[in-house]
Structure 1
Amino acid sequence: MKKLEIIIKPEKLESLKNILDDCEASGLMITNIMGYGNQKGYTRMYRGTTYNVNLLPKVKVETVVADDAAEKIVDRVVKEISTGNYGDGKIFIYNIEDVVRIRTGERGADAI
């Protein structure tokens, strides 16, 4: 099993949800976050004063899927979400040793 943390621009969330639904990801968690990387933000003017905005809004989507589904999801996200510009996001992939569903006590793939 793999845990995917997918960080994207907020406007790409619906596209990502469609990809995850098509790949039969059984559940996901969505968190609004802020950050910056290579983009380094942008400059704004407010009442004659220039200021830098370096923390940009992002969305973090987390899901746990089977190993084969993880590669399929990564390939589709890279192909369909990418604009080729800075700020498209990142995907972090973690190995999951075990999962336990609290309600029933199921473990492993049955608990996803």
Structure 2
Amino acid sequence: MTQIDEPIPETPDPDDPVRRGRPVQIIALVKPFRAQAVLAALESVEILGGVVREAMGYGRQKNRLNQYLGSEYNASFLPKVELTVFVEEPHVGAAVRAIVGEARTGRIGDGKILILPCFHDYLSW
């Protein structure tokens, strides 16, 4: 058995200013016709940066839709918009509420939200 020379890290203090300002990546996959409304809702949240991409989704919806905005398409993958935004940790709740409030239609296929922590050492603004 080998011994590790590094000290065991302490539990982070939630009041520590370094922890409070930690950036968090939020990835939201939403229906294309809701993307503009979600972006408008995110204007009320302090965003550090972001990216918007077209994406194709696959999930429980399967072959239920065969037309989208009047045109036919292969129902194996459904069109989505991927919104990736970076916010500071205290603003995550407000950002998620803004996304859910505008993206949710109440039907299958509304999308997903992923929240990932970021490490200061790897980010450069």
Q: Do both proteins adopt the same fold according to a TM-score greater than 0.5, normalized to the shorter chain?
A: yes
**Who is 2:55 aligned against?**
33
**Counterparts of 2:45 and 2:65, CA distance in 1:** 39
| SS of equivalent to 1:2 | strand
How many residue pairs match? The answer is: 97
Gaps of 5+ in 2: 1-22, 68-72
How much does 1:78 deviate? 1.7
2:123 to 92, 100, 112: 100
Larger Cα Rg: Structure 1 or Structure 2? 2
1:43 & 1:93 partners in 2: Cα distance?
A: 28
Mapped to 1, the partners of 2:60 and 2:36 lie a distance apart of 24
- Per-residue CA deviations over 1:52-74 (Å, capped at 9, x if unaligned) read 62210001011111011111111
Question: Equivalents in 2 of 1:30, 1:43: separation in Å?
Answer: 24
CA offsets per residue over residues 24-81 of structure 1, 9 Å max, x none? 2132101111121111133649xxxxx9622100010111110111111112222232
User: Does residue 84 in structure 1 map to residue 106 in structure 2?
Assistant: yes
Q: Which residue of 1 aligns with 2:92?
A: 70
1:14 aligns with 2:36: yes
Matches within 5 A, 1:40-55: 40-42=62-64, 44=66, 53-55=75-77
Runs in 1 of length 4+ with deviation above 6 angstroms? none
Task: List gaps (5 residues or longer) in structure 1.
Answer: 46-50, 102-110
Secondary structure at the aligned position of 1:87 is classed as coil
User: Structure 2-normalised TM-score?
Assistant: 0.69
State the percentage of identical aligned residues.
30
Mapped partners of 1:89, 1:44: distance in 2: 18
